[in-house]
Structure 1
């Protein structure tokens, strides 16, 4: 084993440079692909390509293990060379912590079905936190180490005192410093470091503060209910179990993902329809819909991307009761669900639609569901991932064939069952 390590460590300086280079390329790809995966703009542009990009992100993320392990084989020799260099040691520890954290949290997110929603939720927070911390440092590190900043004839300016006539003060004029001259007034590299650091702080700092506030649910978190753009009258009157919510209030924060701009509704442009292969078609306006008998349930909400919101108190109409009102014909096999955004659709089998906890919800924790969270009416599917929980739901159609929903067309699982779900 000792001989093997000796061979591996031979010429370790060049190997460290190679590790540094490949690690940089991997992190660059992961940074860009990660931003594209979470960005609403790219979700629609990429379409089915988003699934392939996700797998590329996973594969390249796992590939980070290679430079980490390779470095650890060289670490003993490298660490000896860093004796007395506290700053460089701290940098190595920081990078290893960053890469290891990304790897571990990424694997948990990748295997979220095995890890479970709570572990995946924590892993997502850690993954995001490391990204917010790591990317600015990497950008700063990369920009301030380019060769242009290291050219000695260009990088510094020192003070030069010029001869002047008597009875006047000497004039100080900057001149280029030779590489042998010490203590320059300032260096190009130093200036760029300060400029890049300040730029990153100004541009990313406020966004990071808002993100950490939302993630930790600190005071000042955006109140979706207060900024609800829907203008439907009257507000539904909550049942006793909703106000105060019997679930005790939702735990966690919703992340708003959409494939279109967020729509808003009022009494003039909102209606709810059940049609297709039914005995009796229904179309309700808002005033009629809020008079229908509602029920209350407490359930958790899980997004396929890894985050969850627990103990939600939903109030609405069980889907199976709406189907019973309309009367499902024998030819019907699929319940097709339409979003009021005009683009998004999904579906459930009849057996799934008759699960007791599938709800057409109008209230969340005792308040009308705001438009940012899919209100005034959205589907709730506690046994499935949230891409089945159609937002801005305004039509249910019973059809004879199958229907492949928006994200299922782009590679997502057609049933979206959670781990340990009560499948039908």
Structure 2
């Protein structure tokens, strides 16, 4: 038996290997990662790690785990191509045969067409975060391109360390892709209160040695510029192998591609949203690990259940923890409860709930959405008390 090969040694890829063993799989498991070293957590890179510099705290499993679990980890190895007919994966001169292949290739930072963008720093890998920590060891004027989770998390940490910070966001509000207008405004107020200069509707046009230049002709003095303008899925390997790709590797509800010998999971996978049926791609550790568990159950136990977990997301900015349960579209309606929780609706259906420092409501929402659709009328009758419906 050729066994199972997993391309991508991030949290999702590692979870697939772990879950296969937990489900009782006894065949060969090969986990291939492009980065050197052991698999690690990415979310803390823009938060706790920038403050502590504790790389060991990021490690998902010690080196001894792989030997004990009989999982072959090949780090620092770039996969060049997939031979679907021969069921092999090629990485330079090395060839890995598979009975089943799992693609967990993740995403990479988007590099928009900005003059001098090569001067900007990234915050995607541990090496990126190490460079930023070194830069932040002395007072800096920091500019951030992008007002999403990563950019704002970095901005909050940098301000907390005493650096000057300016954020440029091309959209007319912060985190516009993932939160309601009401929540965008609250976080704008937070960052203003921290002393961060926020430029909305301000696309970055250029990066020079000492400034970030905006499309309106203005410039922001900067010793260091962080590029946090979003990501793009790593789909080239799948596309070159003839698999369907559309803003991600296209999979069905069981996370299978058009090839029954290949699955895909996590940030690189586009799958049908269980609530609406629309194709979605989630940039979420939760989704990646849930995907991995589902694939392992299917491969080992023959479980045919589709992916149906309730999506959830979080972001830590200063002393605020933003938590989102569910998945909304940009045009969804909103209703704001007295305690600040934002309820979003797609027609008559609750699509998500956004909270700040309110773990109780967040967990109640995840539990209730997992039981089935929640109507706007029912929530209105319960005064937006999710626990009452």
Query: Higher strand proportion, which one?
Result: 2
- Which TM-score bucket, shorter chain as reference? under 0.3
What TM-score do you get using the length of structure 2 for normalisation? 0.23
Structure of greater Rg: 1
What TM-score do you get using the length of structure 1 for normalisation? 0.21
